[in-house]
Amino acid sequence: MNKRKRIGEGEQVVHPGRTKGNLFGRTQGRLTLTYSSLTIVLLALFVGVVYILLSYIVINGQKDNLLSLVAVERALVEKNMQEGKAEDTLDNRRLWGSGSDQFFYYVLGSDGKMISGNEIFPGMRSELLGLVQDWKPHAKEIKEVSLSVPADVLDNGEEGAAPVAPLTLHLMVTGQNVLTKNGPEMTLYAGINVTPQYKLLHRLLMLLILLAILFVFIACFIGWLMSRKAMVPIVKSYNRQREFVGDASHELRTPLSVLLASVNALELELGQDAPSFARRTLSNMKDEIRRMTRMVQDLLVLARSDSDELELVKRDFDFRPIAEKTIQSIRRLQAAKGIRMELEGPDKMVLNGDPEKLRQVLTILLDNAVKFTPRGGEVRVVLSDRDKEGRPAFHLSVADTGVGISPEDAERIFDRFYRGDKSRTRGPGGHGLGLSIAKWIVEAHHGRIALLSEEGKGSIFNVDIPVNK
């Protein structure tokens, strides 16, 4: 929640929200997400591996049972044939009792007609025969099928019995040739019901998923605790660094002021009769002192913004005169470079904000544009009451015909102390803090600043501040 208090007619002092807390909160959130994502991946791998292994063990166990069952039944049929008994005298009871999970068995002749057989549901014989009559299985070949059992087949016909719902069963089916005196003239088919095993595996999968979800929540909580603990030394280091920057900036302001005053006094003392070398040396000293003073002032601004001590004095004002005066002052300072500077926009641009801070944004952007625009280039400032999407907003655009910025540098151009390489090297007066300050001021006004640039074709900085903030 922003803290506000009235300081004058039409003015407000605004303390922008705590960006430091947001920064550390986002960092802690990313750490938590990293820990949690790793845990989720490991849990998913664990669930997948466990389920696949158990499925393999259970399903292959049922396949072995089916093959053993068919081998026993084939031996019984072959024994019956070797004893010279007729095909229609096969002992169904012995064959049917060979396996407790057996769903059906059929002995078919070479012509496809059934010689002997039995099934759990007699009403399903035609469907079951349809599964095997045209199938000539290879050795140990097993196929899995799903079979729908209608409700009328399941109904036992008892009066007052509850209605029975249709069933969908999973069957494993295989077949083996039966050797007779004249060679393999019969085929034995058998099927077992593996529906309970599939249901067990399904329940196991659901249980593993539920346990994984539970452990994901636990892992997220543990990850949050770990990330919070990991942030403690970072926060302490950040606070020490912030305090050092603030204290150093305060301490350096006085000696720099003394140095500048001393150089000015020395210039007055020497007068025009001073040797040219002494005058150049004193001039260079003044330039360096001013550069250091600007850097110290910028560091102090950033230190205050980090500690939420920097205030915005917001009021309704016309930005057009401020833009004209700022451009005029920059034009006088850079007259030697012959850079054309133009201002486009309405004659009046009223908005609610801090005039001094927004003037500082324009100064930073103009200084940056002029610094990297070659002699004879052009800098264009555009004001508008609409952003790029056409929404009501304060829009400020500063475009130059300079050297441009590479995509790699553009990603970090608003970082503190960051300067691109090659032609965008550390020149006089540059210390890599201006754009960071401009970004902070714009975001403190609930706006955004963006860069469009192409190497060798110049850069465009766009600032958009909503009018309802």
Q: Taking a C-beta distance cutoff of 8 angstroms, is the pair 384, 395 a contact? A: yes
Coil, helix or strand at residue 175:
strand
The larger pLDDT score, comparing residue 165 to residue 283, is at: 283
pTM: 0.54
What is the full DSSP assignment across 280-340? Answer: HHHHHHHHHHHHHHHHHHHHHHHHHHHTT---EEEEEEEHHHHHHHHHHHHHHHTGGGT-E
Q: Name all domains of the chain by residue range, CATH numbers in brackets.
A: 46-153+165-207 (3.30.450.20), 310-466 (3.30.565.10)
Instruction: Answer yes or no: is pLDDT of 94 > 60.
Output: no
Instruction: Give the model's pLDDT for residue 332.
Output: 76
Among the ranges given (26-35, 100-109, 246-255, 351-360), the one the predictor scored with the smallest mean pLDDT: 246-255
What is the residue whose two structure tokens read 């999970």?
101
Instruction: Answer yes or no: is pLDDT of 31 > 90.
Output: no
- Mean pLDDT, the chain, integer: 81
Among the ranges given (179-193, 227-241, 243-257), the one the predictor scored with the smallest mean pLDDT: 243-257
Instruction: Answer yes or no: is pLDDT of 459 > 70.
Output: yes
Q: Taking a C-beta distance cutoff of 8 angstroms, is the pair 199, 42 a contact? A: no
Instruction: Answer yes or no: is pLDDT of 234 > 60.
Output: yes
Instruction: Answer yes or no: is pLDDT of 152 > 60.
Output: yes
Instruction: Give the model's pLDDT for residue 425.
Output: 47
Structure tokens at 350: 């009223």
Instruction: Give the model's pLDDT for residue 306.
Output: 65
Please report which confidence band the pLDDT of residue 426 belongs to, taking 50, 70 and 90 as the band edges.
Answer: very low
Read off the pLDDT of each residue in 433-441 and give the average, rounded to a whole number.
85
Coil, helix or strand at residue 208:
helix
Read off the pLDDT of each residue in 195-223 and give the average, rounded to a whole number.
91
Contacts of 21 (CB under 8 A, 6+ apart): none
Instruction: Give the model's pLDDT for residue 13.
Output: 59
Residue type at position 373: T
Distance of alpha carbon 106 from alpha carbon 104, whole angstroms:
7
Instruction: Give the model's pLDDT for residue 54.
Output: 94
Instruction: Answer yes or no: is pLDDT of 264 > 80.
Output: yes
Distance of alpha carbon 2 from alpha carbon 136, whole angstroms:
81
31's enclosing H/E stretch is: helix 19-82
Please report which confidence band the pLDDT of residue 102 belongs to, taking 50, 70 and 90 as the band edges.
Answer: confident
Instruction: Answer yes or no: is pLDDT of 114 > 70.
Output: yes
Contacts of 393 (CB under 8 A, 6+ apart): 385, 386, 387, 447, 464, 465, 466, 467
Long-range contacts of 69-72 (CB under 8 A, 24+ apart): 69/98, 69/99, 69/102, 69/190, 69/192, 70/174, 70/175, 70/176, 70/188, 70/190, 71/176, 72/98, 72/99
Structure tokens at 198: 């599939």
The DSSP symbol for 163 reads P
The DSSP symbol for 84 reads T
What are the pLDDT digits (tens) for 304-314?
A: 666 665 677 88
Instruction: Give the model's pLDDT for residue 3.
Output: 44
The larger pLDDT score, comparing residue 183 to residue 52, is at: 52
Instruction: Answer yes or no: is pLDDT of 333 > 60.
Output: yes
